[in-house]
Amino acid sequence: MRVVSLVPSLTEAIAVTAPGLLVGATDWCTHPADLAVTRIGGTKNPDVTAIAALRPDLVIANEEENRAPDLAALRAGGTEVLVTEVRTVGQAFTELDRVLRACGAGSRPRWLDEAEAAWAAVTPGPYRRAVVPIWRRPWMVLGRDTFAGDVLARLGVAHVYADHPERYPRIPLDELRASGADLVVLPDEPYRFTADDGPEAFEGLPAALVDGRLLTWYGPSLAEAPAALRAALR
State the chain's mean pLDDT as an integer.
Answer: 96
Residues 72 and 138 in one domain: no
pLDDT attached to residue 52? 96
Residues 90 and 62 occupy one common structural domain: yes
pLDDT at residue 16 greater than cutoff 90:
yes
pLDDT in tens, 105-126: 878 999 999 999 999 999 877 7
Within a domain: residue 118?
Answer: no
Bridge partners (DSSP) listed for residue 135: 140
Strand-pairing partners, residue 3, are 22, 58
| pLDDT (0 to 100) of residue 184 | 98
pTM of this prediction? 0.94
Confidence of residue 234 (pLDDT cuts 50, 70, 90): confident
> Both 137 and 50 in a single domain?
no
pLDDT of amino acid 106: 79
Write the burial class of residue 36 (CB in 10 Å: 0-12 exposed, 13-18 middle, 19+ buried).
exposed
- Which residue, of 79, 108, 137, is where some domain finishes? 108
Query: Taking 90 as the threshold, does the pLDDT of residue 179 lie above it?
Result: yes
Rounded-to-integer distance, Cα 29 and Cα 90, Å = 23
Same domain, 177 and 87: no
Q: List, in sequence order, every beta strand (DSSP E) within 172-230.
A: 183-187, 207-210
Percent of all residues in the chain with a pLDDT value above 70, rounded to a whole number: 100
Q: What's the pLDDT score for residue 126?
A: 73
Per-residue pLDDT averaged across 70-91, rounded?
97
Residues 59 and 144 reside in one and the same domain: no
Give the domain CATH number at 42. 3.40.50.1980
End of a domain among 108, 136, 158?
Answer: 108
Report the pLDDT value the prediction gives residue 153, as an integer from 0 to 100: 95
Confidence of residue 127 (pLDDT cuts 50, 70, 90): confident
- Domains of the chain: total: 2
Q: Which domain covers residue 69, as residue numbers?
A: 3-108
Asked if 99 and 132 sit in the same domain, the reply is no
In this structure, are 56 and 15 located in the same domain?
yes
Is 115 contained in some domain? no
> Residues with Cβ < 8 Å from 34, sequence gap 6 or more?
none
Helices (H) and strands (E) in the chain, counts: 9, 11
* Percent with pLDDT over 90 in the chain: 96
Work out the average pLDDT over 213-231: 97
